[in-house]
Amino acid sequence: MKITIIGTGYVGLVTGVGLAELGHTVYCVDTIKEKIDFLQKGQAPFYEPDLEKLLKKNIKSKRLRFSLSLAEVINSTEFLFICVGTPPQADGSADLSYVYTVAEQIKNLARSSKIVVVKSTVPVGTNAKIETILAKNKKAKFSVVSCPEFLREGRAIYDFFHSDRLVVGSINQKSADAVAGLFKKVKAQKVITTRETAELIKYASNAFLATKISFINEIANLCDKVGANVSEVALGMGLDKRINPYFLKAGIGYGGAAYAKGVRFLKVKKDAGSTAYEPTAESVKNGSYPISRFLYMYTCSRPTGAIKDYIDWVLSEEGQKIVNDVGYFPIR
């Protein structure tokens, strides 16, 4: 198959190189000339084990090409992968301007039907909005498919070829099968679902991992108070297959934007159609809002600390006054 990858950052380049290695013809597009110049010479802009080796191999085999112009390649490929960044804004929400700019470009340039695959990490409802933008092009038909990435830094190439799962979300079964077919050589559990479910799988996965990290850090604080060994506590917990030992290493907490975006998304997202709700002081008091739900607000602002202290403050006179004034619990 012929594929266009839009964006040659971490996700885009790894995905492009991986798909080329699977035998597809891949065109990677970016707007930064210096980056494209380096890539055309087989030089990766960041280090990942085996990335540069596969980059050079697939450039030599002519399965992987790079361009500054989307217009040059868009109408010679069937699949368009959106892999641009969604950096966090000041309020922690994802900046989707790059995603929507690419959608506008596709709308203006495409002259035939395309399957548009969204790899960028986006909130629930984004794929539907992209489809609305593309629908303004009356000359071509578009099918928008959510296919979130689950790559780990330092193991991205390995993860591409040995993924735990491939998540594909679409309202069109034929398009979902076509996207899944691109990865047929990858032995991973295929999860074919709706776009909204696929979008939320990505955010929920990140939020859960952040919660595990924050949880074991809370246990570490407790261990300090009672004289227990947190490493041995984590070992004892992790031997339970329902829990597993991964992400139970106490430390300074999680870093980077991905997990923060995951936990922050669990706030109300009216513009994305989320039905998530914020707690009220009354719902906490009467038990209808489980304490565990505070984890997402707590992890939004600090990966370590005392959850109990925060909850006590929320339920204090000062905290309840703010709840009454602004309508939700603030991050302190």
Residue 332 lies in a domain: no
Chain segment 18-31, per-residue pLDDT in tens: 999 999 999 999 99
Pair 67, 183 in one domain? yes
Mean pLDDT score, 265-294: 45
d(CA 124, CA 146): 10
Question: Who contacts 161 (Cβ-Cβ below 8 Å, separation ≥6)?
Answer: 18, 21, 186
- Assign residue 287 the CATH number of its domain: 1.10.1040.10
Residue type, 15: T
d(CA 19, CA 186): 10
Instruction: Please check whether residue 88 is in contact with residue 126, taking contact to mean a CB–CB distance below 8 angstroms.
Output: no
Residue 331 lies in a domain: no
For residue 116, pLDDT beyond 80: yes
Chain segment 49-108, per-residue pLDDT in tens: 999 999 999 999 999 999 999 999 999 999 999 999 998 887 777 899 999 999 999 999
For residue 250, pLDDT beyond 90: no
118 sits in which H/E element:
strand 114-118
Pair 7, 67 in one domain? yes
Question: Who contacts 254 (Cβ-Cβ below 8 Å, separation ≥6)?
Answer: 209, 210, 213, 214, 260, 299, 303
Pair 22, 135 in one domain? yes
d(CA 56, CA 20): 11
Pair 240, 136 in one domain? no
Buried b (16+ CB within 10 A) or exposed e, 192-210: bbebbebbbbbbebbbebb
Q: Considering 167, 193, 219, which residue would you say is the last residue of a domain?
A: 193
Dihedral angle computed from the Cα positions of residues 98, 99, 100 and 103, in that order, rounded to the nearest 10 degrees: 120
Chain segment 119-178, per-residue pLDDT in tens: 999 999 999 999 999 999 999 999 999 999 999 999 999 999 999 999 999 999 999 999
Provide the token pair at 27: 């065109």
Pair 135, 210 in one domain? no
Residue 302 lies in a domain: yes
Provide the token pair at 168: 């594909």
Between 321 and 19, whose confidence is greater? 19
* Domain enclosing residue 214, as ranges: 201-326
Instruction: Please check whether residue 5 is in contact with residue 81, taking contact to mean a CB–CB distance below 8 angstroms.
Output: yes
Q: Considering 166, 193, 220, which residue would you say is the last residue of a domain?
A: 193
